[in-house]
Structure 1
Amino acid sequence: MIEVLPETQGDMLAVRVSGELTNEDFDLYRELIRDRMRKYGAARLYYEMIHLDLNRVKPGAALENAFFDLVHGREYGRVAMVGEKVWQEWAAKLISPVKKKGVRYFDLHEREQAMQWVQEGKV
């Protein structure tokens, strides 16, 4: 499931993902981020993961999303990934090289710092 957070504004997309991620969830994410890239030339992203289970992520949708990130990686501004599991931190490190400004990982208890970093570049 993907939830758009109220901090979403301008070129920044803030989302929380949890549980099962479907093709529709990934489609919504790509549409929202693509709209910001078109309108502003780049997009900042706050991506929070809670109770996310890899076994409940649709493989085809995840691969399509990875391809989207490869193609559009240079159109991302700051990206903060916030999570609660070691594999999430590894995922952030894995995708960081394809993003223009990289990806910074924060633990779930650091969510306020992550949001501030994406919004203002501080922390």
Structure 2
Amino acid sequence: MIEILPETRNNMLAVRISDELTVDDFDQYRNLLRDLMQRYKEAHLFYEMVNVDWVQPVAAIENGMFDVIHGLDYGRVAMVGEKKWQEWAAKLISPVKKKGVRYFDLAEREQAMKWVQEGE
């Protein structure tokens, strides 16, 4: 399931993924992000994962392809999670994004949000 967080504004998309990431969830996320990328020079992303048990393989592949195609349109990207595989996923996708991906543990959520909003 995908939830658009209230911190979403201007050129920043903030989402929370929970339970299972489906193709429909990814389509919604991708359309919002693509819209930001068309309106702004770069789009910042806050991506939080809580209790994510499964990512549908097609959604994962589509997400990877979107990242490769639009990697230079990303600004700061924070990935917040609670499992080791999520940290590995952040490291795996980091090279295709212009400024990489910074991973934060769920306990560091506020720090991650501040970094995405304000930078260093």
The root-mean-square deviation of aligned C-alpha atoms, in Å, is: 0.7
Deviation readout 1:67-94 (Å, 9 max, x if unpaired): 0000001100000000000110111011
Q: Secondary structure at the match of 2:19?
A: strand
Structure 1 residue runs of 5 or longer lacking an equivalent are none
Where does structure 1 differ by over 4 angstroms across 4 or more consecutive aligned residues? none
The correspondence of residues 1-123 of structure 1 with structure 2, limited to 5 A, is 1-53=1-53, 56-122=54-120
In 1: Cα distance, 2:55 partner to 2:116 partner: 26
Number of positions where the alignment pairs a residue of Structure 1 with one of Structure 2 = 120
TM-score, normalisation: structure 1: 0.95
CA apart distance, 1:41: 2.3
Identity %: 71
* Unaligned stretches of 5+ residues in structure 2: none
How far off its partner does 1:57 sit?
Answer: 1.6
1:37-65 CA-partner distances (Å, limit 9, x unpaired)? 00002100000000001xx3211121011
Q: Separation in 2 of the partners of 1:10 and 1:69?
A: 20
Aligned equivalents of 1:42 and 1:24: distance in 2? 24
Code of the residue aligned with 2:74 in structure 1: it is Y
CA distance in structure 1 between the aligned counterparts of 2:84 and 2:108, rounded to whole angstroms: 15
